[in-house]
Amino acid sequence: MGSLQQISFTTTFVLYFVSMILYFWYAAAERQAVGKAAGIAAGLGWAANTVALIARSVFTGMLPLSTGYEFLLAFAWGIVLLYLVFELRTDIKAAGGFVGFIAWALLAFIWILMPEQQNAVAPLMPALKSGWLTIHVLTAIVAYSAFALACGLAALYLWRLHNNEGPAQESSLDELIYKVTTLGFMMLSLTIVTGAVWAEKAWGSFWSWDPKETWSLVTWIVFGVYLHVRRNRGWQGRRAAILVIVGFLVVLFTFFGVNFLLPGMHGYA
């Protein structure tokens, strides 16, 4: 099962890279055949990603949600799934390169900096043996994936703005960024609430200002500010897109900076 896990991971890594390149090619040349090939590569990569998660689950005997490697693998899976659903509903393929780069970069982080975790199995600490773990991590994956998609759309928006591709396209894209960010914000709210309930059951306190808790709150505030100024202060266009990208950078720090650099209950270092 370990070999299947490795083969499926490598296949996912390669296919995500191929789809990313094809999506960028499509955004530059707008060739429909290239866009279709990009979608096929992304779909096959997502299928391989699914196999990797299943193989990991069988290998460890539990859901693949407890280690840094498992979360990143599931995070990439969620990003591509959400993007593929988005593409099917909107037929917007030009954002695939920007979103795909994020998913591929997560796997590159695994490949370069944490390959030893791929075949490692460690028993869960008592606090993690809870049904709240599944709920908490799954809502976090959906939230982070939505923010990644919003970031990719914001990057596409700024790229189109730079190339003067027309106010109609920009306005429609701005509205989509707002809707996707709203989804991410709602799921992040659930992540924080479920984490607080889980913490109370595991450690007797809803909130302890652990670095991950603190930075999750910072992330929530940043996107809350975006939603407020976008809805009530008329912030649209470039400023709003930049704020969404900044928010996703905070998301990345909340995971990488906190989990691997700062001591705390959520640390993977």
Provide the phi-psi class of 205: left if phi over 0, else alpha when psi is between -120 and 50, else beta: beta
Which residue range forms the structural domain that includes residue 164?
124-269
The whole-number average pLDDT for the span 98-125 is 83
The answer to whether the CB of 231 falls within 8 A of the CB of 263 is no
Q: Cα–Cα distance between 18 and 15 in angstroms, integer?
A: 5
What pLDDT is recorded for position 127? 59
Question: Are 140 and 70 within one domain?
Answer: no
Question: Are 76 and 44 within one domain?
Answer: yes
The whole-number average pLDDT for the span 75-96 is 95
pLDDT at 19 over 70: yes
Question: Are 68 and 130 within one domain?
Answer: no
Q: Cα–Cα distance between 202 and 54 in angstroms, integer?
A: 28
Question: Are 64 and 152 within one domain?
Answer: no
Hey, which of 23-27, 118-122, 125-129, 201-205 has the most confident mean pLDDT? 23-27
Q: How confident is the model at residue 170 (pLDDT cuts 50, 70, 90)?
A: low
Query: pLDDT tens digit string along 154-166?
Result: 999 999 887 776 5
Provide the phi-psi class of 237: left if phi over 0, else alpha when psi is between -120 and 50, else beta: left
| DSSP run (H or E) holding 245 | helix 238-252
What's the chain's average pLDDT? 87
Question: Are 182 and 244 within one domain?
Answer: yes
Q: Which of 92, 116, 140 is the last residue of a domain?
A: 116
Question: Are 266 and 133 within one domain?
Answer: yes
Question: Are 6 and 38 within one domain?
Answer: yes
Q: What is the total count of domains within the chain?
A: 2
CA 4 to chain CA centroid, Å, is: 24
What pLDDT is recorded for position 195? 86
pTM confidence score: 0.90
The whole-number average pLDDT for the span 41-51 is 97
Q: How confident is the model at residue 1 (pLDDT cuts 50, 70, 90)?
A: low
Q: Cα–Cα distance between 216 and 104 in angstroms, integer?
A: 23
Q: Which of 116, 137, 167 is the last residue of a domain?
A: 116
Q: Which of 61, 91, 116 is the last residue of a domain?
A: 116
What pLDDT is recorded for position 172? 85
Q: How confident is the model at residue 269 (pLDDT cuts 50, 70, 90)?
A: very low
Question: Are 24 and 132 within one domain?
Answer: no
Question: Are 76 and 179 within one domain?
Answer: no
Question: Are 168 and 74 within one domain?
Answer: no
Q: Within 13 Å of residue 45, how many CA atoms lie on the same side as its CB?
A: 30
The answer to whether the CB of 251 falls within 8 A of the CB of 243 is no
Question: Are 78 and 174 within one domain?
Answer: no
Query: pLDDT tens digit string along 208-259?
Result: 777 888 889 999 999 999 999 998 887 888 899 999 999 999 999 988 877 6
Question: Are 33 and 75 within one domain?
Answer: yes
The answer to whether the CB of 183 falls within 8 A of the CB of 177 is no
